[in-house]
A and B are shown apart, each in its own frame.
Chain A
Amino acid sequence: MMPDLGRYFLEVTLAYGVSLGLLAVLALWVWLRGRAVRRALDEFENSRGKNG
């Protein structure tokens, strides 16, 4: 299944590995930060709603 990359195997796999890794880390960071801020806001609004 893996294509024959010949003598440039390292360069091509490195480029794909690093790029996809960076994109995955970015997407994860955006998602985790979004979830944390959303939870914090929900908790804040709920606590204020209950307290009056």
Chain B
Amino acid sequence: MASFWEYANPLKFMRTTDWLLPVVAWAAVIVTAVGLIWGFFFTPDDFRQGSTVKIIFLHVPSALMAINAWIMMLVASLIWLIRRHHVSALAAKAAAPVGVIMTLIGLITGAVWGQPMWGTWWAWDPRLTSFLILFLFYLGYIALWAAIDDPDTAADLTAVLCLVGSVFALLSRYAAFFWSQGLHQGASLSLAPGTRIDWAYKAPLYISMTGFGLIFLALVIAGTRTEIRARRMKALVARERMA
């Protein structure tokens, strides 16, 4: 079996993802479609929340992926800082636009769901606020990559920014436990005994979460392939200028 570190070689990464990307992309489309169609068309209304409960199939998976994307960027950034593998830095860069859109979907669906349920679009609740700060960190991270011309310097500085932003990624996940105040509820899904959500919702929710995970994976693979090509192009142009 191939070692994980073999994929630090851009050629090996490109060769493997050449066949892997279409598989993951189609799986993402199919699984997400099944989860969302099931959730939207075939789940009953909640006795208290009415049909707004259907927003859960977008809100929970996108919020989960928003936080997980940053955690993935953190791991990739640490690999870059410690082992200097370019593919890991480029994978972190490719994950940021996906993460920012996932965060935006989480914020929008949360506001649209919150308005009829809480009577307000927004509250300075610990989880909502830390999630908004995470969104701003994503924008800062993308802007920093764009602002620095030298790719290694950009990778170094964005990796440090990613380490700092990880505090807010973790706060977004655990804020509801740290502070038992605010409007946002605790975890919808839990491994602890005593179910919080009925299987009529849980089954399509798990499928949607898997679908969003696959969307993230497909877009990060595609984005990383583009970044590898862009980096090669930059290196070739620089080599030609020096010759």
Contacts and interface: CB of A to CB of B under 8 A. Distances in A.
B68 interface: no
Interface residues of A, number: 32
Contact of A15 (B109, B219, B240): B109
Contact of A11 (B36, B113, B223): B113
A48 B233 CA distance: 12
B230 interface: yes
A48 B230 CA distance: 17
Contacts, number: 93
B236 A45 contact: yes
B208 to A, nearest CB: 11
Contact of B50 (A7, A23, A33): A7
A49 B115 CA distance: 60
A8 B109 contact: no
B67 interface: no
Nearest to B233: A41
Given A8-B116, A23-B105, A26-B219, A3 B55 contact: no
B229 A3 contact: no
Interface of B: 36, 40-41, 45, 50-52, 54-55, 58-59, 62, 97-98, 101, 104-105, 108-109, 112-113, 115-116, 215, 219, 222-223, 225-226, 229-230, 232-233, 236-237, 240
Given A15-B59, A20-B36, 13 more contacts: A5-B51, A6-B50, A8-B52, A15-B58, A15-B112, A18-B109, A22-B105, A23-B215, A29-B97, A34-B229, A37-B229, A41-B232, A48-B236
Interface of A: 1, 3-9, 11-12, 14-16, 18-20, 22-23, 26-27, 29-31, 33-34, 37-38, 40-41, 44-45, 48
